[in-house]
């Protein structure tokens, strides 16, 4: 590819070629042209060799001296510079191939995040546009550098798969931009959690859409993003361009895990600051354990309060009928009750799994 690009660059014809051809045709030397234009001979030679561009002033000087419209020279210069820049860009893209290879490109193509092509320079260009960066260096500043100075940066320096995780996070940002949301209202969002809990209990077929609408009305963007290889992240919460985002992957594919993860992420928005970035199940990520425990406690309480949990515990051992009774009484998914009892080791982990509903966000 490098050889082809060098050949293509050597075959480009700068406007100076046309200028020299015309001088040869009319029998005028470069020195005479320089004299008539009032320009140094060296400058004219640089223009002819393509080392200097034909500016607007030069084009009008050529029009006066050679009687060839300035627009001709300007268009000739514009075309040459565009073609030269495109070849230079391809050269730069060639240098980014190693960076490209660190991403799960096949899956990103499969999901439609990147174009379905194997042309690496096209994929590199598309990946840069996907991240909205000019080069891989800017990507590193945003996702790898540990000196975080602005809100949209997140350091993945110590994670095992920063490239895959950054792609997953970036897709969430793109998805969030497509959702029209109200101004964020913390009080309204907190009050809406009761409605969302009822949604979790009922689990209608369109619960995903309903969840997004409820949250959007409170100023929160909820997006669902497929996992990428080496990035088994279950959820993330952050503010991006003054918009709070809850990003979920549905990794565990059961309703108890899905709703606990959602309310956990909602807790981060309600309890914690705009500058915080929370990544769930990402090995090596910078985790504030205290805030994670706060979010866990918040999610647990929303789904099943301590008082409600104690009523369930007091009734152990439970049969299916009693579990359903408690689920309807507390308007919480039966799978959540079973999961809590398993977590407390009051029932074995193989008991009660039939109460969990499957959740597949992408089929």
Residue 150 is predicted with a pLDDT of 46
For 41, other C-beta atoms within 10 Å of its C-beta total 14
- Count of beta carbons in the 10 Å neighbourhood of residue 264: 24
Instruction: State yes or no: cis peptide before 317, omega within 30 of 0.
Output: yes
Q: Tell me if the pTM is above 0.85.
A: no
pLDDT digits (tens, 9 = 90+) for 258-277: 999 999 999 999 999 888 88
CA distance 100 to 278: 26
- b/e 242-257 (16+ beta carbons within 10 angstroms → b): ebbbbbbbbbeebbbb
| Residue 154 · residue 131 · CB < 8 Å | no
- Give pLDDT tens digits for 104-145: 999 999 999 999 999 888 899 999 999 999 889 899 888 887
Helix (H) or strand (E) holding 247, with range, is strand 243-248
Strands across the sheet containing 243-248: 221-224, 243-248, 235-240, 278-280
Q: Is the dihedral of CA 68, 74, 80, 84 positive or negative?
A: positive
Residues 183-197 have pLDDT tens digits of 999 999 999 999 999
What pLDDT shows up at residue 237?
Answer: 95
Structure confidence at residue 148 as a pLDDT band (50, 70, 90): very low
Q: Where are the alpha helices (DSSP H) in 272-333?
A: 289-303, 306-314, 320-330
Report CA Rg, the chain.
31
């Amino acid at each position: 590819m490098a050889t082809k690009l060098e050949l293509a660059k050597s075959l480009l014809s700068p406007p100076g070629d046309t200028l020299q051809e015309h001088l040869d045709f009319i029998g005028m030397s470069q020195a005479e042209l320089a004299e008539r234009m009032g320009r140094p001979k060296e400058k004219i030679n640089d223009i002819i060799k393509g080392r200097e561009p034909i500016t607007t002033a030069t084009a009008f000087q050529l029009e006066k001296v050679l009687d060839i419209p300035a627009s001709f020279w300007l268009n000739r210069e514009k075309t040459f510079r565009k073609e030269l820049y495109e070849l230079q860009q391809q050269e730069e893209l060639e240098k980014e191939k190693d960076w490209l290879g660190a991403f799960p490109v096949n899956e990103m193509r499969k999901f439609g995040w990147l174009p379905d092509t194997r042309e690496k320079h096209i994929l590199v260009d598309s990946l840069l546009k996907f991240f909205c960066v000019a080069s891989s260096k800017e990507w590193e500043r945003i996702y790898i550098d540990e000196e975080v100075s602005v809100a949209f940066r997140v350091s993945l320096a110590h994670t095992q798969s920063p490239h895959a995780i950054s792609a997953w996070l970036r897709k969430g940002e793109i998805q969030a931009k497509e959702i029209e949301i109200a101004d964020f209202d913390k009080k309204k969002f907190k009050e809406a959690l009761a409605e969302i809990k009822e949604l979790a209990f009922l689990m209608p077929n369109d619960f995903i859409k309903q969840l997004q609408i409820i949250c959007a009305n409170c100023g929160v963007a909820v997006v669902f993003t497929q996992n990428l290889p080496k990035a088994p992240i279950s959820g993330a919460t952050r503010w991006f361009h003054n918009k709070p985002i809850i990003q979920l992957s549905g990794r565990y594919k059961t309703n108890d895990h899905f709703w606990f993860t959602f309310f956990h992420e909602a807790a981060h928005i309600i309890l914690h600051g705009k500058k915080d970035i929370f990544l769930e199940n990402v090995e090596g990520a910078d985790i504030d354990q205290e805030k994670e425990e706060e979010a866990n406690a918040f999610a647990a309480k929303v789904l099943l309060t301590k008082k409600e949990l104690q009523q369930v515990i007091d009734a152990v051992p439970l049969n299916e009928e009693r579990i359903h009774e408690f689920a309807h009484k507390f308007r919480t998914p039966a799978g959540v009750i079973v999961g809590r009892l398993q977590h407390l080791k009051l029932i074995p982990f193989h008991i009660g799994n039939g109460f969990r509903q499957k959740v597949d966000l992408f089929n």
